[in-house]
Structure 1
Amino acid sequence: MHPWVGLSDHVRLGVVTRWVTPELVAGVLEKCRVRDKKPGALPAGFMVYFTLALALFQQDSYDDVAEHLVGSVPELSASIPNKSSFTRARGRLGPLVLEGVFRELAGPLAPVGLQDSFYRGMRLAAVDGFVLDAPDTKVNRAAFGGPVKNGHPAGFPQVRVVTLTECGTHAQIDAAVGGFNGGERELAIALAVSAAGMLVVMDRNFPGVALWKAYLEAGSHLLLRARSPVAHRPVEHLADGTYSARMNLA
């Protein structure tokens, strides 16, 4: 039996544990029906914190991240498990647990009326996207795609992420994940239900009929940048120097 058994489940992740509490982790594991079934294996509770640490120390190896977590515990730091043990344990944990932790924590934080977080009673939020590198494996390449140059893969497979973020606090309200070859607009549409009653700011790549309808049906208001051809013909000039126009949305 590995010396970590019975001890590693008590490892926490510094100040992050203030929000990702052991009770929260245990609740998500129970909800996802992930239980420790293999005697002597790295426990699921520890692997939640280990996976979060991989994101915080993304330039480090499995061994280095483990040392960051257990360096102050002599019984653990003297016998770091090998990489294959961590890989198998991450496989047993699966992706739904980490998504569950995110869902438990995600949401607006600004109290009603907080300055710069609201406009005319509407909570201010923004939608934006980015890409993350994924390990260069055939499975990730097939699932997510990635940059291509001259018909050949260029760089790592990449995951596309679009987030709904509270402007005043930068708290993540919701997020949608897709492949590199998918569009940000489609992922943004999936976030509409979480933006009810908010004034949502988006960049000029997002406007479209389907997105417009999704957010309006959810009870959101939109403040969008638009390319000049989209609404360049005024229908009515307004007193404040702006104008209303009919938008041509593809």
Structure 2
Amino acid sequence: MAGTGRMMAVPAERLTDRVSIGVLVSLVPVSLLDEVIRVSGCADRRRRALPARLVIYYVLALCLLADHNYDQVMRILLDGLSWRSRGSRAWERAPSASAISRARARVGSDPLRVLFERMAGPLAEPGAPVARYRGLRLLSLDGTALDVPESEENSAFGYPGDAARFPQVRVFAVAEEGSHALVDATFGSSAVAERVLAGRLLRCLRPGTLLAAPAGAWSPDLVRRAARTGTDLLLELPGPPGSSAGDVLADGTRLCEIAGVPFRVVPTLARGALATTLTDPVRAPAAELAARYAGRWTFDDALTWMRPGWHGRGTVLRSRNPDMVVQEIWALLCVYQAMRALTCQAGPSRWCACRWAEFAAGESPTKRLSQ
């Protein structure tokens, strides 16, 4: 299979694969794709064997059916679409690999980026306790590195070290706790610093939220910028706080300032210390904060949840040129969000709400985040 760096047995086509295509079309309806195609300006100007709508479904299916090769994915997609539409249209043969490549290049990555922007956002109901802490919506920021197939074009992404075998792309996201839905995401080459990527995600922060972030994802400048958004912070400390110790509180925590922002340092057995802008120990007990941080959403776990055996340090992408890598990453994020929505739909009705019609109507993630 392309992108794995070694030969693998191709699994046989299964009925469940066709069902998966049906579920994908239900979660990402045609009306939503038509809106995305219109907004991104990639509408077909003439009748094509591989229209933009089908190409977008195909790129999504590549991520959903990661253990199948390109030709198999197209056959399963076409069969699944025919099966779901009760045979109203049938394809005598699947398009060639070269035709698929040309169609992907023609559509580009913008429609997948716009699709993710439409789908991204919290899924938990405003009152769901698993997504809230003391009235604040819980968010986590985390990142991972995805290997991409080695090629002359993909070398532009850079290698994370001299001994690295594959070029890498760094991906960062903010996710809602409880539902684990993605609120926002961004990515760049391995040369882009983690804090630069984390800084792009400050755009999704709003008052009434509590953001948990690992030590490598923030800097004093990011602390100041994040504090100005009105969100509260729960940060892992890479070392001692940036200024002299302040008052020691009754629960053993102490007050300090980091980058001019008032913080409270919470010692933990597992990680040394956390720092939070929730400075009142009555409102936010130290043990609760430590437990919340220990159980936060992480990107590598999210990829493993999507596809058992995947992880953020292995080759999980297929595309052999940068434009298609970007397209594939946006598709991967879309598929992850769709699967989270499916999980929410299967859960208790009072726990999550999946309003896909609102995505098609263009409602912004930040509007839903403020609810």
- Give the TM bin, normalised by the shorter chain: 0.7 to 0.9
Residues 131, 159 of structure 1: 8 Å contact kept:
yes
Q: Hey, what does 1:5 align to over in structure 2?
A: none
1:91: how far off? 0.4
- Identity level (%): 34
Structure with the largest fraction of helix: 2
Q: Hey, what does 2:78 align to over in structure 1?
A: 70
Structure with the largest fraction of strand: 1
Q: Hey, what does 2:115 align to over in structure 1?
A: 101
* Paired residues for 1:1-250 under 5 Å: 13-71=21-79, 73=82, 75-76=90-91, 78-142=92-156, 144-149=157-162, 154-197=164-207, 198-230=209-241, 233-247=244-258
What is the CA–CA distance in structure 2 between the aligned matches of 1:242 and 1:148, rounded to whole Å?
Answer: 39
Deviations 1:128-179 (A, max 9, x none): 001122232322211x2123326xxx32221111000001110100001111
What letter matches 2:141 in structure 1? V
What is the CA–CA distance in structure 1 between the aligned matches of 2:179 and 2:26, rounded to whole Å?
Answer: 18
1:248: how far off? 6.9
What is the CA–CA distance in structure 2 between the aligned matches of 1:34 and 1:95, rounded to whole Å?
Answer: 10
What is the CA–CA distance in structure 2 between the aligned matches of 1:128 and 1:71, rounded to whole Å?
Answer: 37
What is the CA–CA distance in structure 2 between the aligned matches of 1:231 and 1:242, rounded to whole Å?
Answer: 16
Question: Alignment length, in residue pairs?
Answer: 233
Cα 1:228–1:147 shift into 2, 3 Å: closer
Residues 117, 168 of structure 1: 8 Å contact kept:
yes
Residues 220, 258 of structure 2: 8 Å contact kept:
no
1:39: how far off? 4.1
1:233: how far off? 5.0
What is the CA–CA distance in structure 2 between the aligned matches of 1:94 and 1:21, rounded to whole Å?
Answer: 20
Classify the secondary structure of the residue corresponding to 1:148: coil
1:106: how far off? 0.4
What letter matches 1:212 in structure 2? V
Cα 1:66–1:79 shift into 2, 3 Å: same
Classify the secondary structure of the residue corresponding to 1:131: strand
Residues 193, 215 of structure 1: 8 Å contact kept:
no
Deviations 1:26-70 (A, max 9, x none): 001011111223544311000111000111123422101112212
1:180: how far off? 1.1
Classify the secondary structure of the residue corresponding to 1:63: helix
Cα 1:110–1:40 shift into 2, 3 Å: closer
Supply the RMSD in Å over aligned alpha carbons.
2.1
What letter matches 2:145 in structure 1? V
| Structure 1 length-normalised TM | 0.86
Classify the secondary structure of the residue corresponding to 1:234: coil
What is the CA–CA distance in structure 1 between the aligned matches of 2:100 and 2:168, rounded to whole Å?
Answer: 23
Flag structure 1 segments of 5+ consecutive residues without an equivalent: 1-11
What is the CA–CA distance in structure 1 between the aligned matches of 2:122 and 2:199, rounded to whole Å?
Answer: 19
Classify the secondary structure of the residue corresponding to 1:236: coil
What is the CA–CA distance in structure 2 between the aligned matches of 1:145 and 1:27, rounded to whole Å?
Answer: 35
Residues 241, 256 of structure 2: 8 Å contact kept:
no
What is the CA–CA distance in structure 2 between the aligned matches of 1:19 and 1:71, rounded to whole Å?
Answer: 18
